[in-house]
């Protein structure tokens, strides 16, 4: 989608601090980090949110989870621990309408949300 900021980041049209990418997914640093390590993982293809799961190919969710673990390893939080979350819709506080998963770590997150 031309006007989707995360599509444009995933395609490389807009520069970002990419830490890992493959054919399906891209991980880059959040512009407003809420933890020492704060990454966003997005699918390259435009999917609005977790609610649009019907757009996923079979097995893509598993690939996504594997990718998230690889990102955690890449930024050095795999063993110390991290949090993965996705915001959905208005009440979930979703600001960008392209499915993305936050990976937060690098400190004791406690009950941080």
Active site residue 100: yes
d(CA 36, CA 105): 6
The reply on whether position 16 binds ligand DGP by CB under 6 A is: yes
Nearer CB in complex with ligand DGP: 53/58? 53
Using an 8 Å Cβ cutoff, are 4 and 42 in contact?
Answer: no
Provide the minimum distance between the beta carbon of 58 and ligand DGP in the complex, in angstroms, as a whole number: 26
The reply on whether position 101 binds ligand DGP by CB under 6 A is: no
d(CA 87, CA 100): 8
The reply on whether position 28 binds ligand DGP by CB under 6 A is: yes
3-state secondary structure of 41: strand
The reply on whether position 49 binds ligand DGP by CB under 6 A is: no
d(CA 113, CA 80): 18
- Determine which one of 32, 38, 46, 100 is catalytic: 100
Residues in contact with 59: Cβ distance below 8 Å, sequence separation at least 6, in sequence order? none
Nearer CB in complex with ligand DGP: 79/95? 95
Contact with ligand DGP (CB under 6 A) among 4, 87, 106, 109? 87
* Secondary structure E strands in 22-100: 25-29, 37-43, 82-85
Contact residues toward ligand DGP (CB under 6 A) are 5, 16, 28-32, 40, 87, 93-96
């Amino acid at each position: 989608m031309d006007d989707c900021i995360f599509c444009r980041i995933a395609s490389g049209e807009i520069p970002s601090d990419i830490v890992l990418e493959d054919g399906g997914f891209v991980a880059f640093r959040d512009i407003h980090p809420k933890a020492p390590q704060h990454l966003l993982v997005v699918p390259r293809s435009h999917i609005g949110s977790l609610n649009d799961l019907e757009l996923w190919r079979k097995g893509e969710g598993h690939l996504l989870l594997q990718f998230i673990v690889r990102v955690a390893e890449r930024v050095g939080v795999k063993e110390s621990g991290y949090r993965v979350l996705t915001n959905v819709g208005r009440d979930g506080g979703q600001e960008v309408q392209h499915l993305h998963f936050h990976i937060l770590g690098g400190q004791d997150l406690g009950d941080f949300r």
